[in-house]
Amino acid sequence: MAVKSTMHRFVDELDPVVFGIGFVVSVLAIGVFFRNPSSSAEAMDRVNTFLWTEFMWVYIAAMFLMVVFSLWLLVGPWGSIKLGGPDEEPAFSNTEFFAMMFSAGIAAGIVFWGPAEALTHYETVPPFVGAESQSTDAAVGALQYTFFHWGISYWVPYLIIGIPVAYYAYRRDAPMRISTVIAPFVGVDRLDGPMAKAIDILAVFATTGGIATTLGFVGSQFLTGLEYDYGVTFGDGGTVLVISGLTIAFTLSVVLGVRKGIRWLSLFNLGLFGLLCLAVFLLGPTNYIMNVGTQAIGGYISEFFQMSLYTNPSGGGEWVGEWTVFYWAWVFSWASFGGLFVARISRGRTIRQVTATALIGATAATIPWFLTMGGTAIFLEQSGSAPMLATVSEYGVEVSGFPLFEALPLGSVLAFLFMILVITFFVTSADSSTLALGMLTTGGSERPSTVNRIIWGALMGVLASLLIVGGGINALQSAAIITGGPFAIIAVVAIVGMVLEFQRLDPLLDGDTDESGQSETSSVQSSAVDD
């Protein structure tokens, strides 16, 4: 009886169009990649090259517009708008809210690129920096560009998607799905039309591509760590089994729900993240980190707008395409589910609180990590204390954290904690995205059925495994750029929609009433108790 009831709920809640097309296309993609991994990876790379060559300006300009608008939400009058009823308290504490936003938003990419990106830029210097390879100026520029890629700009797509969805869901009873961003143009009552369906289907594709990219990155890092630290190697079958095991872990987390699963895991994740960062800062080259890092932070602040609009036209834009455009496209692909998850946990907060948590709080947590890990990696290479670049050349960028820890006191303990962090970031990234996929394919249900969550969790694990086995890092980067591009356009639409709606709402910014003068608390507070 319980099984029958569960299946009935799964069927009854489905949006058949969005789920059906999203599921079928995902399965077809897995089948094509499984049968022709090399040719599929090559085709993705060609599409990727075309996109960043012909439409680089779209990615760059869209991100810059999002940054400017997010800063306005932070300091302007619209920041006082409440995402919920006028007397409603936030559903989660400040610490819980920050931990979940940070863990879901920064994703497992922070452990993959933390020690690696600055080290890579130290050897192959960004053209904007223009310093000699492996020089002191190159070290400063490498950290500066790493801050640029993972600082304020990284977080704004989540806000641009999440805030309008939360606003309409908690103040207008709109469905919790990406297509809600077009409500200012079509009205809340017309969010089941063809355009809305198309946006939600596109969000499913972007989410599957974005999360598979991240799971592939971190899965390959976990496997490389096992090989480097413990001599354990896996063939293709073993790789699929390992990723499947991690998939089971995040599926269990998402099945437990936000409060029982994602919340507690995010808090643990944040604590371990802070502990490891502090340990490396104190045990590593602290003085070097602070000296080089202080200058890099200064450069990041003073040259932020120049870096934001830099396309390197004299060099054909290749470096910008392979790095900045890749990152922006990657986070655009994450914005579909990251923004939806931010909306899911933002009930009862003002727009300014949500924006400040991302732009100030999350950036303040991200920069010390990249400063400490990247600065330590560069110092070890520069001083000859560890062959960082040689090791990366042999194993790939995913190995960079392990020789770093090996060169520090308590290295084996730090490496073990790092492996745990890789796993927990993998799980927190995947469970929040799987929850979002469930919401997208059920017409906006905040608590999609267990069956729905398991289906999407399994698909994400299989796709990540095949990308690791068949395509490697290049295919993963191509997948992110391909799936993230369309969301640059959707984000611009969301900005225009917010401007139209919030201008209309201006006289009512106290949040006490809706546009018709009626209390907003009735429907919202009835669902204020989370799962």
Confidence of residue 508 (pLDDT cuts 50, 70, 90): low
Residue 445 has pLDDT above 80, yes or no: no
- For the stretch 359-393, pLDDT in tens is 999 999 899 999 999 999 999 999 988 888 888 88
Residue 473 has pLDDT above 60, yes or no: no
Helix (H) and strand (E) counts in the chain: 25, 0
CA distance 326 to 477: 7
Question: By the 8 A CB rule, do 218 and 397 touch?
Answer: no
Domains of the chain as residue ranges with CATH: 12-504 (1.20.1740)
- Cβ neighbours for 265, distance < 8 A, ≥ 6 positions apart: 103, 253, 424, 427, 428, 431
pTM: 0.84
237 CB-side CA count, 13 A = 0
Question: Helix axis angle, 16-35 relative to 411-440, nearest 10°?
Answer: 130
User: Tokens standing for 61?
Assistant: 């300009």
- For the stretch 392-406, pLDDT in tens is 887 777 777 888 988
Lowest mean pLDDT among 63-67, 274-278, 388-392, 526-530: 526-530
Q: What is the residue-wise DSSP string for 456-522?
A: HHHHHHHHHHHIIIIIHHHHHHHHHHHHHHHHHHHHHHHHHHHHHHHHHHGGGTT-SB-TTS-BSHH
State the pLDDT at residue 126: 93
Confidence of residue 514 (pLDDT cuts 50, 70, 90): very low
Question: By the 8 A CB rule, do 132 and 313 touch?
Answer: no
- When computed from its CA atoms, the radius of gyration of the chain, rounded to whole angstroms, is 22
State the pLDDT at residue 511: 45
